[in-house]
Each structure stands twice: as C-alpha cells, then as structure tokens.
Amino acid sequence: MIITFGSINVDFVYEAEEMPQPGQTLLAKRFRTESGGKGANQALAAARDGAEVVMVGAVGNDSLAEVGLQNLIAATDTSRVARVDEPTGNASIHIDAKGRNMIVVAAGANLVASSEAVEEQLLQQANVVLMQMENDVAEVEKLIRRVRKSHATSVLNLAPAFPLDEKVLSLCDIIVVNEDEAEALGGWLGCDAHAEALAVRLGTGVLRTLGGEGAEAFAVGEYIRIPAMKIDVKDTTAAGDCFVGVLAAGLDRGLPLNSAMERASVAAGLACSRAGSQMSIPDNVETDSALSR
C-alpha cells in the first residue's frame, strides 16, 4: 500500500501557439479545466498502475474541491483528505505548440494539510510513503522523520525545488528530481547535479529524470540508467508526476529499482503522447502492452 501526502489542485489549462511574454496577451486555441496537483497526479498514476493508494491532503469548502477530487475518489482512499477554510489549490498551465508548459500554482488548502492525518497504524501498513513539495515544508519534514522510524520506503519528489535541511534529505530512501531540481539541489549542497554525486553527498538514493534522455539513479552503491520511450510529444504536463507515481507503484509491489524505473519511463512516455494532466495518465494494461512491444 502507498500513502501519498501531497497536493490536490484544479488545473486551468490554456493551449496556444507560443508562450506569453511579459505584457503580452495571447488568444488560446483551447481551454479546459482538469483535476491536478503533484500529489493527486502521482497518487492517481500509482493507483492506475494497480497499487492500493491512500491520499492524504486538503481541499477547500468550495466548488473547486469536487473537481480536484473527482478522479481520486474513484481510484484511491480519500477518507483522509481534509476540508478546510482555505481555497482549493489551483494552477494556471500554459502549453505551446511544441508541448512545452509553464505553470503558476496557488497552493491554497495544500499549505494547511496536516501530516498528522497519517496515523501511526496506517503508517505501519504502508510499503511506500510518497511526498512532494507543494505542501507546508514543516509537515513534509515531520512525515519524513516518522517514515524513517517505520519499515516503509520514503520517496520524496523534490518538486518544486525548495531547500530542505540536509539531515532531513538524508533520511529519505529515494529523492526524485528533474534536471532543474537537481541543479538547485547540487547548488545547495555544493556538489555536482548528477544522481551519483547527489546520492554520495546525501548518503541516500537519488533518481534524476532527464526528459527525452530517460532517467538515471544511484542507490545502494549501484548506478542505473534507463532510456526514454520514443514518442511524439503532445503535452508534458503530467509526465513527471506519472513517472513518480508508477515508480512508487513498482516499488510497492517489490520490483527492483531498475525495473520500476523502466516501467515508470514507459508510462510517462504514454502520458506525453496525449493531451491533459490526469486524463493523460495510462492504466496498467496500457503500460504492460507498451512494455511488451
């Protein structure tokens, strides 16, 4: 079982030929509203890959809450998602004709989500605890410390990049970063941004995603490199979250890290080949089929 302590957002998605520049107004080709948030996306990706997932977070007492929760309710246990007075988190996502995106997030209710909602009995049942950085940093740190005392594997997606105490980072089993986040982390630690350098510096496992070049990891003294799936990119919005969620699902079912990474890379590739955030995330049957080709 996977516990995901993370953000729940509603995405306002604008598709245009190019990205807006400061002072510029563009007309979007298309607009849609979609469920999102790093925590919710990763929880859903894990659930669609076959994992049992408990979502822990917070939404507001507003009309956006139902949109943010609609896919999670169908796929995960949302009994520990709190209703609070802050507005439901939301994000403005701009996507250009090349599939690139720019995102601005208003955290709202996510910043008052409490890690105490992960009660000790639940924590002892989990194989994996998955966290990101769209919640209050102090709550993420508290949960990392608690997971360290349990038998569960802690996976921290350091996204968006935000400085955590080095001692806290070292308590994680696996830290997942993209290239920009790895550069930020390396800058804080005073080391190179590659997975091996970061892992050696922290004394823990580090996985770095490399976009179209795949991903690399260094954990328990082993270097792993896997390629990306070759696809025509339509929308990269949820690709990183899909990768992390499917990675967690693989670890939850006992796959070795390299196999979990290979599966996650294929699932992320499928997500890139489709438009949308949560709507682009594949299920386990689709991923199995792509892996067997």
For the chain, the structural domain boundaries read 2-17+27-291
Task: Name the residues annotated as catalytic.
Answer: 241
Please classify residue 210 by burial: count the beta carbons closer than 10 Å to its beta carbon, then call 0-12 exposed, 13-18 middle and 19+ buried: middle
What is the rounded distance in angstroms from the CA atom of residue 274 to the CA atom of residue 261? 20
Amino acid at position 255, single letter? L
Q: Which architecture characterizes domain 2-17+27-291 according to CATH?
A: 3-Layer(aba) Sandwich (3.40)
Print pLDDT tens along the chain (293 aa). 999 999 999 989 899 999 999 999 999 999 989 999 999 999 999 999 999 999 999 999 999 999 999 999 999 999 999 999 999 999 898 989 887 888 888 999 999 999 999 999 999 999 999 999 999 999 999 999 999 999 999 999 999 998 999 999 999 999 999 999 999 999 999 999 999 999 999 999 999 999 889 999 999 999 999 998 888 888 787 899 999 999 999 999 999 999 999 999 999 999 999 887 899 999 999 999 999 87
Which string of b and e fits 211-225 if b means at least 16 CB within 10 Å? eeebbbbbbeeeebe
Q: In sequence order, which residues have a C-beta less than 8 Å from that of residue 29 and are 6 or more positions away? A: 15, 16, 17
Q: In sequence order, which residues have a C-beta less than 8 Å from that of residue 188 and are 6 or more positions away? A: 163, 166
pLDDT, residue 267, reads 96
pLDDT, residue 293, reads 79
pLDDT, residue 212, reads 87
What is the rounded distance in angstroms from the CA atom of residue 119 to the CA atom of residue 81? 13
What are the start-end ranges of the E strands in 53-203? 53-60, 77-84, 89-95, 101-106, 128-131, 153-157, 174-177
The reply to whether the predicted model has a pTM over 0.75 is yes
Q: Is 186 helix (H, G, I), strand (E, B) or coil?
A: helix
Amino acid at position 87, single letter? P
pLDDT, residue 248, reads 98
Evaluate whether 283 touches 48 at the Cβ level (below 8 Å). Answer: yes
